[in-house]
Amino acid sequence: MEINLPSGNKVVIRERLLPGDRFAVQDAPDVIVQADKTVVVRNAAANTMPAFLARVIESWTFPGVPAQVLAAGARGLDDVMDLDDWNALEEGVKDLLEKARPEQPDPNSRPQLPGSSPRSEITSG
């Protein structure tokens, strides 16, 4: 699938999804190495789209290798595209991304463990 972006650039996306595409969506943490060499992991949800795109982009007309640019995070993306292009790219792949997402359990449904009753649950609040 080819996505035409507002800047005139194009991105070619692989439409056949693979198990690894789902794993990339599930395992997309933000790993930051700070100046003092401290490693911080956060914002897993914020990196879902770049992790997914790094796997499914086959080619693009921007400079650089897509997976390397996406791995560089916001700095890498800022060097090659503007927000209008990013928004159009997100919109163009949203259905594929949703297909790659694992089904989420109903947050209102709690599985009952064998031998337990609703009154024996431990909750915090």
Domain-located, residue 31: yes
One-character DSSP codes across 43-93: -GGGGHHHHHHHHHEEEESSSS-HHHHHHTHHHHHHHH--HHHHHHHHHHH
How far is Cα 88 from Cα 66, in angstroms, rounded to an integer?
16
Give a yes or no: residue 61 inside a domain. Answer: yes
11 in a domain, yes or no?
Answer: yes
32 is a domain residue: yes
What pLDDT does residue 95 have? 95
If DSSP codes are grouped into helix, strand and coil, which group holds residue 106?
coil
Instruction: Decide if 117 is inside a domain.
Output: no
pLDDT of res. 122: 44
Q: Which residue has the tokens 């035409």?
A: 4
The model's pLDDT over 62-100, given as tens digits with 9 standing for 90+, comes to: 999 999 999 888 889 999 999 999 999 999 999 999 999
Query: Does residue 44 form part of some domain?
Result: yes
Residue 106 lies in a domain: no
Instruction: Report helix, strand or coil for 115.
Output: coil
Summarised one tens digit per residue, pLDDT across range 29-44 is 555 556 677 666 555 5
At residue 40, the pLDDT reads 60
CA-CA distance, 59 to 117, in Å (whole number)? 54
pLDDT tier, 101 (very low <50, low <70, confident <90, very high otherwise): confident
Between residues 66 and 51, the one the model is more confident about: 66
The parent domain of residue 20 ranges over 2-101
Mean pLDDT of 99-124: 56
Give 108's pLDDT tier (boundaries 50, 70, 90).
Answer: low
* 118 inside domain: no
For residue 33, what are the β-bridge partners? Answer: 39
| pLDDT: which is higher, 46 or 7 | 7
Domains identified in the chain, total number: 1
**For 47, what's the count of Cα atoms within 13 Å in the CB-facing half-sphere?**
20
Q: Are 34 and 40 in contact (CB under 8 A)?
A: yes
- State the chain's mean pLDDT as an integer: 80
